Amino acid sequence: MKAIGELIKEELEHQERSVSWLARKLACDRSNIYRIFQKQSIDTSVLRHISIILNRNFFLDLSEELDL
């Protein structure tokens, strides 16, 4: 399974959105977005906000790797 930061980066590219656009939506600096791209894990409240902004349920992506 890919790291969550990589999934976010790929979705942003798929939607042809810029790092600056996501930074504006999250009210943060572009450097913070680049740090998110490098993360293996992420705070759930931040991931929820990113999921809403990009209209993609990243929690579903993460849960698919669970084999319960």
pLDDT in tens, 9-30: 999 999 999 999 999 999 999 9
Position 65 scores a pLDDT of: 78
Q: Is residue 9 part of a domain?
A: yes
**CATH number of residue 45's parent domain:** 1.10.260.40
Per-residue pLDDT for 50 more than 80?
A: yes
The 8-class DSSP code of residue 66 comes to: -
Q: Is residue 68 part of a domain?
A: no
pTM of the model: 0.92
The string of DSSP letters for 23-53 reads: HHHHTS-HHHHHHHHT-S---HHHHHHHHHH
Q: Range of 27's domain?
A: 4-63
Angle between helices 19-26 and 44-54 (to 10 degrees): 120
Q: Is residue 19 part of a domain?
A: yes
Domain count, the chain: 1
Q: Is residue 46 part of a domain?
A: yes
